Amino acid sequence: MILLINPKTTKPSEFQSEYFREPNLGLLYLSALLDRNDIEVDLLDLEQYYNLSREQIENVTKTLFLKYQIFGITCLTNTYQFSIYLVKLIKECNPNATIILGGPHVSFLYDKILKKEKLVDYICVGESEKSFPRLIELLISFQNKNKRSKDFFKKLQLIQGVAYRSIQGEVFFTGNPEPINVERLPLPARYKLSQENYYYRVANVIVNRGCPNECSFCSRQNFFQNVRIRSISSILTEVRDIIALQNYEYINFYDNINFNKKFFHKFCNMFIKNQLNIPWGCELRVDSITYEDAILLKKAGCRLVATGIESASEEVLKTNFKYQKPELVLEGLKHLKNQNIAIQSYFVLGLPGETKATFRETEQYIKKLPFDQEDKLEYFAATPYPGSKLWENREEYQIKIIETDFSKYDCQHIIFETSDLNYQQLRDMFKTAKELESYHTKD
């Protein structure tokens, strides 16, 4: 009855074939919740079929879309336009289908989207592990009834976190959903993923929700209302489940796992005490990594640390609410490299406050990084995702958005100019940044 869809990204197929791929956990959580409520649900993960053209996708899905009454599509900014293409394709095949969108992009732009895209029926705003199952149950209960009746809308208004159009076509929002109790969530339904071609060899695990940081280029702090950390016992259960599946060669843990030092140490000791024999990596803040932390990570079996360095300019960092000292980052990196832990570092070009001088400062800083052949450096173009400070406060930041094609919001395109740098200057600098990336990232 219900089909959940993960759209494909706009990354080129040759990039996808080598990409560090991970499944969409949001849809896997929703699938598990619906399964727990004995609601039939299937998953179509188009990311697994990255090499299919639109014509091939249409041929594959025409018959498939006739089998379902309700469709849930997750939307990132980069996949939004492809999602709308899928919406139109579904309605062409199945005019009576009900379509629900969710995810970060539509959560921040639900009013505009519902006014423009009349084929979209509902949008689940923010965390939807409560709202989506309740909306599905309501739709099923009205399967043979009038979904435009006063009774239906009265019940719909009781579900927090849903945006919809009234009978008169006005957009209504039932209010922000309550933060999810992460301890009550079932394990993500990884068994729903097709094992064809073993597309996903890396499992991803969320150990916390929300973020205590306020970086201008991130919308996470607005999407999640507060920070919640999972218990070690629930994480251990999920890790053991992943190992038992025997499909995954590696686990990545998100998000910054060391903003709470007590949790961080318990997390590492979880691997040591339980002798968990699977390679893993994580995201963390390197500026607070000590010599002892690095030793603990190594002992726990950590193979790789991913970290956002962004810029070597303290002025740029401060302007964009990234409160870290470049010298402390360098110190933390040295501790990790002394333990032979691989580093995946991220830099951002073109943030407010960036100038030719700050870029040169970052170039010189990169030369000091203690990297070797197993480390990677990635340079991204600053991107104003809806919900981020860059999007919400662009006048205050004095940025001019020059690219409105959301499919290009992939951190590989220049999206805006700043008061200090125009498009051509940013484009030239990004080319240099990519050359730096290639030089410092060995194949």
* pLDDT at 11 (0 to 100): 59
From the list 105, 127, 103, 135, the residue with the least C-alpha distance to 225 is 127
Q: Is 348 helix (H, G, I), strand (E, B) or coil?
A: strand
How many helices (DSSP H) and strands (DSSP E) are in the chain?
18, 17
Cα-trace Rg, the chain: 22
Rounded to an integer, what distance in angstroms lies between the CA atom of residue 191 and that of residue 203?
Answer: 12
Rounded to an integer, what distance in angstroms lies between the CA atom of residue 317 and that of residue 310?
Answer: 8
* pLDDT at 17 (0 to 100): 46
Q: CB count, 10 Å around CB of 113?
A: 19
Q: What is the 3-state secondary structure (H, E, C) of the chain?
A: CEEEEECCCCCCHHHHCCCCCCCCHHHHHHHHHHHHCCCCEEEEEHHHHCCCCHHHHHHHHHHHHHHCCEEEEECCCCCHHHHHHHHHHHHHHCCCCEEEEECHHHHHCHHHHHHHCCCCCEEECCCCCCHHHHHHHHHHHCCCCCCCCHHHHHHHCCCCCEEEECCCCCEEECCCCCCCCHHHCCCCCHHHCCCHHHCCCEEEEECEECCCCCCCCCCHHHHCCCCEECCHHHHHHHHHHHHHHCCCCEEEEECCCCCCHHHHHHHHHHHHHHCCCCCEEEECCHHHCCHHHHHHHHHCCEEEEEEEEECCCHHHHHHCCCCCCHHHHHHHHHHHHHCCCEEEEEEEECCCCCCHHHHHHHHHHHHCCCCCCCCEEEEEECCCCCCCHHHHCHHHHCCEECCCCHHHCCCCCCCEECCCCCHHHHHHHHHHHHHHHHHHCCC
Q: What is the CATH number of domain 2-173?
A: 3.40.50.280
Structure tokens belonging to residue 268: 């590492």
Q: Which residues of 330-342 are buried (b: 16+ CB within 10 A; e: fewer)?
A: bebbbbbbeeebb
> In the chain, what is the greatest distance between 2 CA atoms, to the nearest angstrom?
67
Q: CB count, 10 Å around CB of 374?
A: 14
* pLDDT at 196 (0 to 100): 65
From the list 369, 373, 400, the residue with the least C-alpha distance to 384 is 400
DSSP string, 32-69: HHHHHTT--EEEEEGGGGTT--HHHHHHHHHHHGGG-S
Give me the amino acid identity at 193. L
Structure tokens belonging to residue 432: 């240099």
- The residues of the chain that CATH labels 3.20.20.70 are 201-440
In a 13 Å sphere around the CA of 170, the CA atoms on its Cβ side amount to 5
User: Pairing mode, if any, of strands 162-165 and 171-173?
Assistant: antiparallel
Low-confidence residues in the chain, pLDDT < 50:
13-19
From the list 308, 127, 287, 326, the residue with the least C-alpha distance to 216 is 308
* pLDDT at 439 (0 to 100): 87
- The residues of the chain that CATH labels 3.40.50.280 are 2-173
Domain 201-440 has CATH 3.40.50.280: no
* pLDDT at 396 (0 to 100): 97
pLDDT digits over 377-396, tens only?
Answer: 999 999 999 999 999 999 99
Rounded to an integer, what distance in angstroms lies between the CA atom of residue 333 and that of residue 46?
Answer: 37
The secondary structure of residue 443, as a DSSP letter, is: -
